[in-house]
Amino acid sequence: MKETLFYNHLCNDLIPFWNKMKDEENGGFYGYADEHGTADRQSVKGTILNSRILWFYSASYQLLKREELLIMADHAYRFLAEHCFDSRYGGVFWSVNADGSPHEDIKHTYNQAFAIYALSVYYQASGKKEALNLAYTLYRTIEEKCRDKEGYLEAFDRDFSPVSNEKLSENGVIADRTMNTLLHVLECYTELYRADRFSRVGNSIREILQIFKSKIYNPDKKICEVFFDKNYKSIIRLESYGHDIETSWLIDRACDVLGDAGCLEEMLPVINGLAEGAYRNGIDPVSHAMNNECENGTINRKKVWWVQAECVSK
């Protein structure tokens, strides 16, 4: 019954919606639609959005084996490869205009990660080596330009000069490092390793897992701290229930893809602690849905779609 509900939602709601967002004139997919589903044809196209759409069609094709889904993935891939990559300085832009010209040309590690994730899944769906090569180009960009000896930094100008991290900072703080960006670097490296089993990527995954264990995870509270300075000092008292449950299952998945039983054993206290903490502190006893977050001891009981989705994933 549950599988039927998900299948029907995918086939009857999600796929038809995104099919209507296809930009036949300029490529890619429209960046904005109103509450009636009417697209703004001149809207800016975010690279993260188009990366996620590429992932969506590639993963849907792998599940359903419908040729029209792979055709849509091909359409998304061409736009990402031809318009979102910066041929001069490397990496992908934050966003482009409706016609594919650069709009916000900043580089963000979070953005590079989503493109790697999408390209890795598209390679597995299509078999196109060029997509895998682009994913590796971005992997090298992150490793060479977006990190220091302690881990990953986040916000850069077009030429990868460091800038302030407004894009991934919230709650009135500006963070040098965020749990959210590190989490999605872990996610995309896991998918890249799954696609090609390159040992260097596997080593990067293990390094990120150690950062989560030693710097991000708070074993006393059973949460991930969220925003940090360059020295991994937490700069706000914040619990993000959706991110905690997301981190739990993505760490579990990384260990599974690595096929490393010792790594899984080492990370189990983090995996189980985050799941337990999110369940104990985040579930609304009235609606049984997940609350949004808790800042300075005050729970934000807003029910946000992605937070609920992460609970389903786990």
Own/partner pairs, 90-95, CB within 8 angstroms, 24+ separation: 90/137, 90/141, 90/145, 90/160, 91/138, 91/141, 91/145, 91/160, 92/47, 92/138, 93/47, 93/158, 94/46, 94/47, 94/167, 95/31, 95/44, 95/45, 95/46, 95/47
> What confidence category does residue 277 fall into, taking pLDDT thresholds of 50, 70 and 90?
very high
Number of domains in the chain: 2
Same domain, 162 and 84: yes
Residues 229 and 309 in one domain: yes
Q: For residue range 186-241, what is the model confidence (pLDDT) as tens digits?
A: 999 999 999 999 999 999 999 999 999 999 999 999 999 999 999 999 999 999 99
Please tell me the predicted confidence (pLDDT) of residue 2.
Answer: 55
| Structure confidence by residue, pLDDT tens digits, 48-82 | 999 999 999 999 999 999 999 999 999 999 999 99
Q: The tokens of 213 are what? A: 């264990």
Question: How much of the chain, in percent, has pLDDT values that exceed 70?
Answer: 99
Residue 116: which of 127, 131, 100 has the closest Cα? Answer: 131
Residues 124, 14 share a domain:
yes
Do residues 153 and 214 share a domain?
Answer: no
Is 60 inside a domain boundary?
yes
pTM recorded for the entire structure: 0.96
Q: Are residues 161 and 62 in the same domain?
A: yes
The DSSP element (H or E) to which 158 belongs, if any, is: none
One domain for residues 21 and 157? yes
State whether 81 and 39 are in the same domain: yes
- 112 and 235, same structural domain? no
Q: Cβ distance 260 to 193 under 8 Å?
A: no
In a domain, 136, yes or no: yes
Domain that holds residue 270: 199-314
Do 84 and 226 belong to one domain?
Answer: no
Q: Are residues 135 and 56 both part of a single domain?
A: yes
Q: Are residue 85 and residue 163 in the same domain, yes or no?
A: yes
Given this model, what pLDDT does residue 301 score? 96
**What's the length of the chain?**
314
Q: In Å, how far are 99, 211, 226, 228, 271 from 232, measured between CA atoms?
A: 40, 10, 10, 5, 20
Of 145, 167, 189, the residue at which a domain comes to its end is 167
For 130-182, write each residue's pLDDT tens digit.
999 999 999 999 999 999 999 999 999 999 999 999 999 999 999 999 999 99
**Model pLDDT, residue 314:** 52
pLDDT (0 to 100) of residue 312: 83
Contact assessment for residue 121 and residue 191, using Cβ atoms and an 8 Å cutoff:
yes
**Residue 1 pLDDT exceeds 90:** no
Residue 94 lies in a domain: yes
